[in-house]
Amino acid sequence: MKTEPAWTGLPDGLGVFARLDGGRPLPELTAAVNAVCEEVEDLRARTVVVLRFPPAPAQPREWPGDVSIRDVNRWERAVRRLERLDAVNIAVAEGTCGGPVLDVLLAADFRIAGPDLTLMLPVNDGHFWPGMSLYRLVHHIGLARARRIVLWGTDIPVAEATDLGIVDQVSDDLTEAVHAAAVLRGRLSDRETRIRRRLLEEAASAEYDDALGAHLAACDRELRRLRAAEAPSAEGPATPEAGAAG
């Protein structure tokens, strides 16, 4: 992958890291996210994805710029692909960040921010960009608060982003925060994480009776997985008597 490594000094194999410059053209950002996804999908071992948005000297409020609807579709598909990885994904942002950062933060499993973070909402000619960040905002923070942001949106400082649940952790030491999060949450990176995400998403809109079947299927899968994991230790080593009895 050609994206620049995000941090140095982290244990080898801890995760897949990439820096994403939120001020870059949309096609370049799409290619970077897809490259991360491809690298993770090729790995067989558990891993963690860390996407870092470092502070940029100047980012335009307008998003996504002069692009085609095909470019927009590719970007949305790339973010959705990231969102559906088996791996836990961690987004890290600091400074003043523009439109694509909100998209990735809302799609991430865990979000870490520097104390100076300000989310600059994607606004064009006074109107909030109607991409899938709008959809995710409603699912994350509810219709009333999302309406206030979308219709009367101003920049979101880190304290408000934390209160809204857009940010999970604020840290002065981002390297240490990412290291700790990658170690702790890396244990959860497998297909089961993807299943839990899907159940959470569906819970926001599905009726109880409609959701019950999917949850029971997931519970059945989990029970079988746990039994399979316990089976070797439960059986223990074969004894001479057991062998003679056979």
The pLDDT of residue 7: 38
The pLDDT of residue 177: 92
pLDDT interval class at 188 (50, 70, 90): low
- The alpha carbon torsion through 29, 26, 89, 16 (nearest 10 deg) reads 0
- Of 23-27, 37-41, 179-183, 213-217, the poorest mean pLDDT is in 213-217
Average pLDDT of the chain? 81
Cβ-contact 133, 156 below 8 angstroms? no
The contacts of residue 48 (CB under 8 Å, 6+ apart) are 14, 15, 16, 87, 88, 89, 90, 181, 182, 185, 186, 189
For the stretch 65-79, pLDDT in tens is 889 999 999 999 999
Element (H, E) at 107: helix 99-107
Average pLDDT, integer, range 28-55: 88
Element (H, E) at 111: strand 110-113
Average pLDDT, integer, range 3-13: 43
Average pLDDT, integer, range 173-181: 89
Higher-confidence residue of 57 and 172: namely 172
- Of 81-90, 213-222, 236-245, the poorest mean pLDDT is in 236-245
Residues above pLDDT 70, as percent of the chain? 81
Average pLDDT, integer, range 177-204: 74
**For residue 90, which amino acid is it?**
I
Q: Kindly report the pTM of this predicted structure.
A: 0.78
The pLDDT of residue 232: 63
Higher-confidence residue of 195 and 149: namely 149
For the stretch 107-147, pLDDT in tens is 999 999 999 999 988 888 888 899 999 888 888 888 899 99
